[in-house]
Amino acid sequence: MQPRRKKRLLSMLLVISLIAGAVGAMLFALQQNINLFYTPGQLIQGLGEGKIKPDIGQRLRLGGMVVPGTVQRDADSLKVRFDLTDDSGEIATVEFEGILPDLFREGQGIVAQGELRSATVLAATEVLAKHDEEYMPPEVAEALKGIRHVPPSQQPAASNANYGG
Give residue-wise pLDDT tens across range 24-33. 998 887 766 6
131 half-sphere exposure, CB direction, 13 A CA radius: 2
pLDDT tens, 134-151? 666 677 777 777 666 555
For the CA atoms of 72, 77, 56, 33, what is the dihedral angle to 10 degrees?
120
Claim to verify: residue 1 and residue 45 sit in the same structural domain: no
Per DSSP, the three-state class of 32 is helix
Cα–Cα distance for residue pair 23/105, rounded to 1 Å: 44
Percentage of the chain exceeding pLDDT 90? 28
pLDDT at residue 21 in the model: 94
Claim to verify: residue 66 and residue 120 sit in the same structural domain: yes
Average pLDDT over residues 127-136: 70
Closest CA to 65 of 94, 98, 96, 44: 94
Claim to verify: residue 144 and residue 73 sit in the same structural domain: yes
Question: Of 5-19, 108-122, 151-165, which range is least confident?
Answer: 151-165
Claim to verify: residue 21 and residue 87 sit in the same structural domain: no
**Spatial contact of 53 and 43, defined as CB atoms under 8 Å apart:** yes
Q: What are phi and psi of 92, to 5 degrees?
A: -125, 150
Claim to verify: residue 49 and residue 30 sit in the same structural domain: no
Q: To 5 degrees, how large is the angle CA 161–CA 75–CA 72?
A: 35
pLDDT at residue 1 in the model: 73
The model's confidence at residue 127, banded by pLDDT at 50, 70 and 90, is very high
Average pLDDT over residues 104-108: 86
Please report whether residue 56 resides in a domain. yes
Please report whether residue 165 resides in a domain. no
Instruction: Name the domain count of the chain.
Output: 2
Enclosing domain of residue 30: 1-34
Model confidence at 61: pLDDT above 60: yes
Q: Decide which of 88 and 32 is more confident.
A: 88
Average pLDDT over residues 115-136: 81
Average pLDDT over residues 1-21: 91
**Spatial contact of 60 and 116, defined as CB atoms under 8 Å apart:** yes
The model's confidence at residue 53, banded by pLDDT at 50, 70 and 90, is confident
Q: Where are the beta strands (DSSP E) in the chain?
A: 36-38, 59-66, 72-73, 79-85, 91-97, 109-118, 121-129
Mean pLDDT comparison of 45-59, 106-120, 150-164, highest-scoring range: 106-120
Please provide the average confidence, as pLDDT, over all residues in the chain. Answer: 82
Amino acid 30 reads L
